[in-house]
Structures are given as structure tokens and as C-alpha cells.
Amino acid sequence: MKVLLDLQYLNVATTGIKTYMMELAEAALAYPHPEIEWIFSHDPKIQSADQTFKGHQSKIQRLNYHMDYFRWKEFQLPDLVKKHQPDVLICPDFVSPVASLPCRRLTVIHDAFFWQMPQNYPKWWRTYFLRLIKKGLKENTEIITTTEYSRKSLYKYLKKIYPMTVIYQAPKRLENGLDTTFLEENGLADQKYFMHLGTFDKRKNLPMLVRAFDNFLNKTKADFKLVLAGGAGQSAQMNDLPIVEKLVEELGLQDKVFLPGYVNDHQVAALYKNAFAYVFPSENEGFGIPILEAMANRIPVIHSDQPALMEVAGGCGLPFKTGDQQDLMEKMIFLALDDDQINSMVGKGLEQSKKFSAQKFIEGFQNVILKK
């Protein structure tokens, strides 16, 4: 059985979707199935390294990207289907071609953010993207999503009931070395710190985390820092980085809050290895990869009680009420004062992280691909 995997979106994908696509491609190669022949639309490493549409973009550049994306989905990808004649096409980036295709489609819709949080997206862009998603859900389409929470959310907003399967994804592997110099140069090598990794999207609630951390310092007088690693939000409407930067200055936390911006895999691995705890205050997630990355690195996790994070953490994290700054501060204090709690969470978290392997990830797809 031939399976065509669309990897074009890797030229702009960041954080969660990029990890999803890369891990899916690598797992397909690492765990082959005798009845499945994989065809990649692009070499994943080359496509993810493409800088053409990355970085700060002018309006003209953004328009050029959208035209390039539309051209790919609606003309070039259908031509590739015609050329290779796959039995199954997998689109891991929400959108499948509008054109009729002679094969099954597996479309990955990671979450329901576009429906749930319209205020976080430019109106014209959201309208256009939702239209692309809906028009591509046609013919023999099955939806793959990331958690039971996402599945229930999508059923709420999609007018038509499609076959939908939850396949838990695998976290990024960070096994190729640590950049310990990064920690030393930034005063983190011998320093206790809470950390968060990801873009500064509004739904991440990072200004609240900064305020909770400030309260934590005032209450405990402890020598901790807060590391917020990652790039700006994906649009001006979604970006909380300027708000966080201003808040750090207003609270006088310049020496306590470290904002390194984008960090590479070696730096991420070093941050995980040396962190005191990972804090995930997001108000909405489709999955929550950093929870598993942190647990695999023997770091206790404090997370909001948002349903997807609760599902992924599996009771092995320390939840607080979503959006409740006081509760978050109390959980940070509780963890800082209880070594037994830390040891218990580390052990349970490590076992939980093992449930989300690359092999199980690809086996989920293989089962859907081969089902009669």
C-alpha cells in the first residue's frame, strides 16, 4: 500500500506542528511496515531548513507565502497524487486539497483553536484558513487528531461527522548532545530555575506566569530564576512577548527572568537537564509536547488543569486551576519546599513519558492506514 506524506508545510512550521511532522516522518522510516510504502513529498530535513518564508516578513512576503501554500495544496500536491497514485494521502497540517482525489485522505487537525479562540487570529486569515480546511474535508476523508479533548472539541464545531481517530504523538528526541556552555554563559549552570518552552502566544498565559513568579519570589525570598525560551507569537494579535518584556521591567525582574528567544535543540536539552521544574500555564492546548519532554528529562511539571494537558500528564504532574495566578504561585511554593513530592513526581513522570513513543505513534497511523 502506497502512502504519500505531505511535508511541504515544514518550510514554515514551528514548535508543535513541526515536531509532529518531523517525528512522523522519522518514525515511518525507523519502524517500517511490510505492507506500507512511504512516499515523502519533500525531504524533511531539507524542507525544515528552508529559510525562504521564515523570520520577520513584510505583508508582500506573507502574501507570497500564502500564494505558494495555496499553489502547493490545490495544484502541485494533486499532481503528485496523480504521479505516484498512492492509496492514502496524509496531510499533517490541517489542510487537504479541494480537488477530487482517487485515494483515501488522512487529514491531521491538531486542535480546535481556530473555532475556540477567534480573537487570537486576524479575521481575514482565519476566515480563509477555515474555508481551506472545510473544503478539503471531502470524499474519503478521515481525521486524525491528538487527544480526546481535541476530538470532542472538533466534533462540537464541525457540522459533518467524519471518522476521527486519536493518535498520541511522540515528543522530539533530544539525544544529540547538550550545550552546557549556553547554561554557563547565561548564569544557569548552578542556578535553580523554572522554565517554559514555546512561542509567546496569548493562550500560553505567560504574563500570568511572570506575575506568579514575582509573587513566589516575594513570598519565599528563594534564589530562583524563570526561563521563558521561545520566539514571538505567530501574529501581532497573538504575540504576548512585548507584554512580557514590559512586565519584567515594571516588576524589576530583569535579573530574574531570562528571555533567550529561539533556542536550538542542544540548548533545549541543556535547559531541560538543569531545570528545577517545568511550568505550563496555557489556557488551551491540543496536546502539550513539553510535558512529555520535561518528564522524560526527570523534571517535575506544574501545569494548568486544561483538559489536554491533564490527559497527557496522566495524573503525574501538579495541576493548578487554569488562569488562577494565586493557585499557580502556591503550587510553585509547594514544589520548592517538598523534596519528597519532587522525587515522587519525577518517578511517575518518567513512566508516563514512556507511553508516548515514536513506535506507538507510527503504529497508530499504520493501524488506520491498513484497516479495512
Residue 246 in any domain: the answer is: yes
Q: Please say whether the beta carbons of 21 and 9 come within 8 A.
A: yes
Q: Which amino acid is at 225?
A: K
Quick one: 195 and 338 in the same domain? yes
User: Does 289 have pLDDT greater than 80?
Assistant: yes
Quick one: 65 and 159 in the same domain? yes
Residue 147 in any domain: the answer is: yes
Residues sharing a CB contact under 8 Å with residue 188, sequence separation 6 or more, in sequence order: 182, 225, 227, 258, 271, 274
* Per-residue exposure over 212-243, b if at least 16 CB sit within 10 Å of its own CB, e if not: bbbbbbeeeeeebbbbbbbbbbbeeebbbbee
pLDDT at 56: 64
Residue 156 in any domain: the answer is: yes
Nearest to 229 by CA among 271, 193, 190, 188: 271
Quick one: 217 and 280 in the same domain? yes
Residue 175 in any domain: the answer is: no
- Of the pLDDT bands very low, low, confident and very high (cuts 50, 70, 90), residue 13 is confident
Quick one: 204 and 286 in the same domain? yes
Nearest to 195 by CA among 224, 156, 157, 222: 224
Nearest to 194 by CA among 79, 81, 62, 334: 334
- Of the pLDDT bands very low, low, confident and very high (cuts 50, 70, 90), residue 372 is low
- Of the pLDDT bands very low, low, confident and very high (cuts 50, 70, 90), residue 12 is confident
User: Does 38 have pLDDT greater than 90?
Assistant: yes
| Span 281-296, average pLDDT | 95
Higher pLDDT, 24 or 123: 24
Quick one: 82 and 208 in the same domain? no
Quick one: 151 and 222 in the same domain? no
| Span 349-364, average pLDDT | 96
Percent of the chain with pLDDT over 90: 79
Quick one: 205 and 131 in the same domain? no
| Span 147-171, average pLDDT | 93
Q: Flag the least confident range among 86-90, 275-279, 341-345.
A: 341-345
Q: Which amino acid is at 169?
A: Q
For the chain, the domain total comes to: 2
Quick one: 198 and 312 in the same domain? yes
Quick one: 186 and 324 in the same domain? yes
Residue 271 in any domain: the answer is: yes
| Span 141-151, average pLDDT | 96
pLDDT at 173: 79
Q: Quick check: helix, strand or coil at residue 51? A: coil
Residue 44 in any domain: the answer is: yes
Reported as a single tens digit per residue, the pLDDT across 172-215 is 877 667 888 999 999 999 999 999 999 899 999 999 999 999 99
Which range marks the domain in which residue 109 is found? 2-170+357-370
| Span 293-313, average pLDDT | 97
Quick one: 334 and 366 in the same domain? no
Which stretch of DSSP H or E encloses residue 127?
A: helix 123-136
d(CA 64, CA 273): 40
pLDDT at 20: 95
User: Does 55 have pLDDT greater than 90?
Assistant: no
pLDDT at 237: 72
Residue 335 in any domain: the answer is: yes
Q: Please say whether the beta carbons of 159 and 137 come within 8 A.
A: no
Quick one: 205 and 161 in the same domain? no
Quick one: 145 and 244 in the same domain? no
User: Does 294 have pLDDT greater than 70?
Assistant: yes
Give the CATH number for residue 317: 3.40.50.2000
